[in-house]
Copies of this chain bind each other. A is one copy, B any other.
């Protein structure tokens, strides 16, 4: 459905420049947008594309307004504005309410919920109003899903896990598998420690495809409100993740790590266990966090790459770093002796 620019501004604020009756139907990047598209400029790098855009209108910051050849919505935070308008123009498709005849539901679900084909929901599970559960999901006994949750196809929720409202979980995600806890016999074999804790997930959380969250050993694994987890993240038992922390794909978080609020963790980072990360910490991609971080800031341990031959020459030296440091110290001593006798 086409929307008028002045309708958008009435909803989301901002200053309109140009014709408020301009109609837009979808959002597109500056260089791809056509005459019924709304575009946006958030990164000054793309400013050069503004002059040539064929968009109907552009969301942009005040400092770029002058150079805009078409209608504009001027706002100090164009990226946020774009996100909100895009949500409005692209509401998530809602399947019809009701239980698919090929679903197996061994509990009561509210009529407003939508339960897909081949879903299994165990006895005692509690499903919130308006929840959407995609095909082939499994919801264990006594699990709780808040209102307006959305589970895409093939999600597994173990018995007893508690998930808040408006949580979006992508395919292949697993919530509540056993933590990895064993005691060792003298002969090296392992005795399993029952994982009797649960997983508690707050409201407005997003969990990516293939992400796994283990249940706690004795206490619970806890994911705060507004946390965003990308794909293929591993969250071990008893981990605590503070509100509004965002974690990129392929991150591994070991047992009992405690991560603060509003942190960002880059892709493929590794957080070792039994440590604490303060609020507002940014961990760079590919960084292994091996000890606690007490202070907000950005922390990095990423290794540079090189052309292979250069790498061979340089990285072999890593095995000699301590010897190099010793040699430097010896040189300093000998030089000092020489300088004295000068």
**Does A65 make an interface contact (CB < 8 A)?**
no
**Does A144 make an interface contact (CB < 8 A)?**
no
A317 and B321 form a contact (CB under 8 A): yes
Q: In the complex, A196 Cα to B303 Cα: how many Å?
A: 34
**A288 to chain B: closest residue by CB:** B286
Q: In the complex, A170 Cα to B28 Cα: how many Å?
A: 33
Contact residues, A147-199 vs B (CB, 8 A): 152-154, 156, 158-159, 168, 170-174, 177-178, 180, 182-185, 187-194, 196
Shortest distance from the beta carbon of A205 to any chain B beta carbon, whole Å: 10
A290 and B302 form a contact (CB under 8 A): yes
A314 and B318 form a contact (CB under 8 A): yes
Q: How many residues of A contact B (CB 8 A)?
A: 135
**Does A278 make an interface contact (CB < 8 A)?**
no
Contact of A301 among B138, B182, B219, B303 (CB under 8 A): B303
Shortest distance from the beta carbon of A198 to any chain B beta carbon, whole Å: 13
**A140 to chain B: closest residue by CB:** B153
Contact residues, A293-313 vs B (CB, 8 A): 297-308, 310-313
Q: In the complex, A191 Cα to B87 Cα: how many Å?
A: 9
Contact of A171 among B156, B300, B314, B327 (CB under 8 A): B156
Q: In the complex, A285 Cα to B83 Cα: how many Å?
A: 37
**Does A104 make an interface contact (CB < 8 A)?**
yes
**Interface bits A52-96 vs B (CB < 8 Å: 1, else 0):** 000000000000000000000000010110111011011011000
Q: Which residues of A contact B (CB under 8 A)?
A: 26-29, 32, 77, 79-80, 82-84, 86-87, 89-90, 92-93, 100, 102, 104, 116-120, 134-138, 140-141, 152-154, 156, 158-159, 168, 170-174, 177-178, 180, 182-185, 187-194, 196, 204, 206, 208-210, 212, 214, 218-219, 226, 228, 230-232, 234, 236, 244, 246, 248-250, 252, 254, 261-262, 267-268, 270, 272, 280, 283-290, 297-308, 310-322, 324-325, 327-328, 331-332, 334-335, 338-339, 341-342
